[in-house]
Structures are given as structure tokens and as C-alpha cells.
Amino acid sequence: MTKKIYTKEEWIKALAGLKSSYNIFVPVKEEGFHTFKALDEKKSPDFDFQNTRLSPKSLVYPQSERLFEYTLDENAPDANIIKESEKGYFPQAIVGIRPCDAHAFQIVKPNFDNPEYQDPWWIKRFESTTFVGLGCNDPSSTCFCTSVGGSPFSEKGLDALLYDLGDTFLVKALTDKGEKFLNQAQGGKEADETTLKAGEDLAASASDKIEHKISTDKLKDKVQTELFDAPFWDDVAFACINCGTCTYLCPTCWCFDIQDEVLEKQGDRIRNWDSCMFPLFTLHGSGHNPRAKKVQRVRQRFMHKLKYYVDKYNNGVQCSGCGRCVRNCPVNIDIREICELMNGFLHKNQ
């Protein structure tokens, strides 16, 4: 597999050269925080960041996506016939994605792509994406990837990985997709042994910088109903304002709602992100709401991530440890503390 070294200027130039083969998305600094944007001459990428405010999940799974369309015009030959909307799946590359966010796509994959159900739009966009990661030299104090199956230089879910060596990037291909991407990238030179060693050292030292560890080892053995009835949920939920910040910033939250929107005779069937924090999320047509109370919704979020997912997929927890919800929850509800509560919970009979 290709291993190359680029000066940072060369790398950005190489990315620009790839624009005819890929839609390239890079971290860009916007008014105080970073976000993934299409590579554009007007705004240069900024790889000097901890992580983007919003996760890159929208690049595979847009917040709003038209799935189908139809016309209500009775005179049209296809009146009232629903048709799949045309979508483009031109190859895209997310360059600079953090290993936790790439891992997150692997965590959500069993939901969108499993033997029973295949979500064609998620799968097509996922498959058309090349994930070029950027290892974390200086993880944030709210990061906990090493507790949930990742690490600052984890290769999980990545096609290539960048090592920031100061003035240069070492880039390694990890899969055929990554190899193809790097083979098309102009410039750079073959990485020598010293550079590779520098990359390895960097990765090893970064792992030690993750100070926060959480325990997830006992979650699997807990009884769902006992955890569900645990006495701590009221306290956990008190401060929650039931906004969607945690779920919308989360790279592993996948829930959606499907809505029909009609303007005059034109109808669109749209899939929008939804959030288990919202009362409407579970409101039945009958008017009954099985999760009418805040505490039920808060419990659902944590039970889903840290228990139901664990039991259903045998793939660890539904969390990649990116720490976005920890940093951005308006009322400081900290998943690390709640995971400890759940993992350490002992039923009164135990």
C-alpha cells in the first residue's frame, strides 16, 4: 500500500487536483468552529483543529433528503405515481475526518445495511465515499475513543490515514479505495523509514494522551428491564431541556422521520433527521405517546446507545467517544458519567 509524504501546501494542491475525480470535503474554519465543506479556492482547508462542531455524518446521511417525488396534477400521465428522486452518487472523499467519526460510520452501518434491511441511499453514498482520516495528535479532554474501541490513530473505517508531522503530512493507504485515491493524487514522495517511524511514535504517544476512560464492560450482562427501572434516571434527566443538540451533533445517532411536503401540485417525500429527545418522535396517530415524559426520552437515548445497541448487534456501544455531546450539551449532561452509572448499576437483589 502507498505511503507518501507531502508538505502541507503540496497536499492541499494535490487535493485540488483530485477535484475532477472526487467531490472533496475538508474541514474549514467558520466563525469560531470547524465544519466540513466542499473544497473551494476561496476558503482554504484548515487541518489544525480538534474536531468539527457537527459530525460529518450528513455527508453520507443528509439532514434532509428527498427520497421520492410525485405530481398531483390529474392531467399528467403519471399523476399520483410516486417515483424515486434522481440522486447523484459521484465519488466523494472526506479528507481530514477524525478516526472517531470514521469509526462512527462503522457503528451505524449495521442499522442501514444488514441482511434484513438495506437502505439503498445510505449504502450508495457510503460506498461512493473515500474516508481519508487525520490522526489526533492532541485529543481533547472530552475525548474517550480508547474506551469504546477506537484510538486517536485508529484505522477502523478509514481508507487512508494522515499523520500530521508538523510541516508535512505522512499519508498511508489502508484499503483499495484509499490506494486508488492516493494514486491519483499528484506530488508527494515515497515515505522513508524514518518518517514511518515518526508516524508510529506519534500514534503511540497520542493514545496515552486520552485521559478519560469509561467502563463499558458490564453493560452487556445487565438485565434490560432492571436498567430501565434503575433509580437514577430522574436525576440524570432533571437538567435536560430535550433539545436535539446531542442527537444532531452525534456521529452515531441515525433516527429519521419521513414527511410528505406538497407545494401546489408537486409532492416530495423527504427523510429528515429526527431525535428521540423530541416528544413528537414517538407520538402515535391515536394521540397516545409512549414516551410522553422527558425522563422517558432521556432514558431512551442512553439505553439505546449503551444497552439496546450492545445487545442487538454485539458490536460494542453505539458511541465512538468523540465527546461532541459532552462539550456541547447546553446543560452539561455528560454521557461518560451516565455510562459509569449504567455500567456500575447493581439491582437491589444483587
Partner 1 sequence: MLEYVEKIRETARKLFKDDKVDVFIGYKKGSVPMMNQPVLISNADQVDLLCWDSNCGLNLCNYLTKRKDRIGIVANGCNSRNIVTHITENQISRDQLYIVGIPCKGMIDQRAVQRAVKQKEILEIKEHGETFTVKGKDFEETFNKNDYLQRNCSVCTHRNPVISDEMVASPVEEQSGVDAYKDVKEIEEMDPKKKWEFFTQAIDKCIRCYACRNACPLCYCPTCFVDESKPQWVGKSNDSIDTMTFHILRAYHCAGRCTDCGACERVCPVGIPVRQFTKKLNKDAQELFSWEAGLTPDQRPLLDVFRPDDYNDFIR
> Which parts of this chain interact with partner 1 (CB under 8 A)?
31-33, 49-50, 53-54, 63-64, 138, 140-142, 235, 238-239, 241-245, 247-249, 257, 259, 261, 270, 272, 275, 278-280, 283, 326-328, 330-334, 336-337
Which residues on adjacent β-strands are paired with residue 229?
none
d(CA 144, CA 252): 15
CB of 25 to partner 1, least distance (A): 16
CB of 312 to partner 1, least distance (A): 26
Of the pair 120, 330, the CB lying nearest partner 1 is at: 330
Which residue shows C-alpha cell 467502563? 215
Of the pair 135, 323, the CB lying nearest partner 1 is at: 323
Cβ contact 306:213 at 8 Å: no
Of the pair 21, 242, the CB lying nearest partner 1 is at: 242
CB of 249 to partner 1, least distance (A): 6
CB of 181 to partner 1, least distance (A): 29
Of the pair 1, 331, the CB lying nearest partner 1 is at: 331
Write the DSSP string, 61-121: S-SEEEEEEEE--TTSTTBT--EEPP-----EEEEEE-HHHHHHHHHHHHHHBSSS-B-HH
Q: Angle formed by the axes of helices 120-127 and 99-112, to 10°? A: 150
Cα–Cα distance list, 343 to 162, 181, 330 (Å):
35, 42, 25
Of the pair 138, 192, the CB lying nearest partner 1 is at: 138
18 closest CA partner among 166, 171, 121: 171
Cβ contact 34:28 at 8 Å: yes
CB of 1 to partner 1, least distance (A): 33
CB of 65 to partner 1, least distance (A): 9
CB of 127 to partner 1, least distance (A): 25
Neighbours of 167 (CB within 10 A): 8
CB of 334 to partner 1, least distance (A): 4
CB of 3 to partner 1, least distance (A): 30
The 3 state secondary structure assigned to 54-76 is CCHHHHCCCCEEEEEEEECCCCC
| Contacts for 16 with CB less than 8 Å, ≥ 6 apart | 39, 41
Of the pair 88, 285, the CB lying nearest partner 1 is at: 285
Helix (H, G, I), strand (E, B) or coil at 122: helix
Farthest-apart Cα atoms in the chain, separation: 72
Of the pair 117, 213, the CB lying nearest partner 1 is at: 213
Q: Are strands 266-273 and 64-71 parallel, antiparallel or unpaired?
A: antiparallel
Say how many Å lie between the first and final Cα of the chain, rounded: 52
332 phi-psi bin (left φ>0, alpha ψ -120 to 50, beta other):
left
Of the pair 199, 323, the CB lying nearest partner 1 is at: 323
